[in-house]
């Protein structure tokens, strides 16, 4: 089965899909175009920002937490009003936010990276009840942030390493002990980008440059792979009325004229029936 187009707007760097469980609505970002996109039934929605934006969590029916280059902000969907909640690398203008997701404890994990993907320029942080704490440093391209259904494990990747890490979580969702390798994709030549975990614990990972999303069991075994008509898939998210649709963002970034001509759907947002049911996205607690 191949993913089909859900939204025809082309993103230079589509990322951060979020299915809002109370609104029944998908949101996602075009990072380098400084825009938040969404759909309300057949209506295409769009909001512009004055800097790169990349990921979000839902706070309540009307508000999102949005990660930008320099802050985590509260965003009002109806009015577009924005309120800064916490600063994020305000003293390092060469970096921006990248992949992020709310955790089962009400926190929000957000990764950063250099705007030119400078090695080791980024980090992974956690926002929890007003506090931002750095969890991992020297990250080049933070990705694949997601959480096990029981809330005891976090996953993340530094994409250039081609490895996905697994981190045990303790009280209030803070990491305990050292992270360990969950998936080593070097032999397959695959690059881990964004990821999400379904209710069975299957880890669904978008593989940048490969045009496919693959599901891996809790033991790291490959369970399924699905193709999409775009080589640079960036992040999956479950949504739909019963959370059985896997949405996929993609990018045209780093594609030449020939690649774009042969992949006219590159940069669009897709939907896929992968036979799994997702977890409802967790609420961010302010």
The per-residue DSSP string of 32-73 comes to: GGTEEEEEETTEEEEEE-SS-EEEEEE-SSSEEEEEESSEEE
For residue 246, the 8-state DSSP code is E
Among 146, 156, 67, smallest CA distance to 101 is for 146
Quick one: how far is CA 46 from the chain centroid?
A: 18
Q: How far is the C-alpha of 110 from the C-alpha of 67, rounded, in Å?
A: 7
Closest CA to 151 of 164, 167, 169, 133: 169
Cβ pair 35, 254 in contact under 8 A: no
Q: Are strands 233-239 and 222-227 parallel, antiparallel or unpaired?
A: unpaired
- Catalytically active residues are 193
């Amino acid at each position: 089965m191949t993913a089909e187009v859900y939204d025809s707007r082309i993103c230079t760097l589509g990322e951060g899909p979020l299915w809002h469980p109370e609104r029944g609505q998908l949101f996602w970002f075009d990072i380098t175009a400084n825009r938040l996109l969404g759909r309300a039934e057949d209506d295409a929605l769009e909001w512009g920002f004055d800097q790169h934006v990349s990921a979000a969590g839902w706070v309540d029916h009307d508000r999102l937490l949005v990660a930008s280059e320099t802050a985590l902000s509260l965003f009002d969907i109806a009015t577009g009003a924005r309120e800064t909640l916490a600063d994020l690398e305000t003293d390092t203008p060469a970096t921006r936010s990248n992949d992020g997701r709310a955790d089962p404890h009400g926190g929000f994990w957000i990764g950063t990276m250099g705007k030119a993907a400078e090695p080791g320029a980024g980090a992974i942080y956690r926002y929890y009840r007003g506090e931002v704490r750095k969890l991992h440093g020297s990250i080049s391209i933070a990705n694949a942030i997601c959480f096990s259904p029981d809330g005891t494990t976090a996953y993340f990747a530094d994409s250039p390493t081609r490895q996905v890490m697994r981190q045990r979580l303790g009280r209030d969702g803070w990491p305990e002990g050292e992270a360990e390798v969950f998936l080593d994709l070097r032999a397959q030549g695959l690059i881990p980008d964004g990821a999400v975990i379904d209710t069975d614990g299957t880890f669904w990972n978008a593989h940048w440059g490969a045009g496919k999303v693959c599901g891996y069991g809790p033991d790291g075994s490959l369970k399924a792979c699905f193709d999409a008509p775009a080589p640079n898939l960036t992040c999956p998210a479950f949504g739909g009325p019963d959370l059985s649709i896997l949405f996929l963002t993609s990018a045209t970034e780093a594609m030449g004229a020939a690649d774009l001509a042969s992949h006219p759907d590159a940069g669009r947002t897709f939907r896929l029936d992968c036979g799994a049911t997702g977890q409802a996205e967790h609420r961010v607690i302010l």
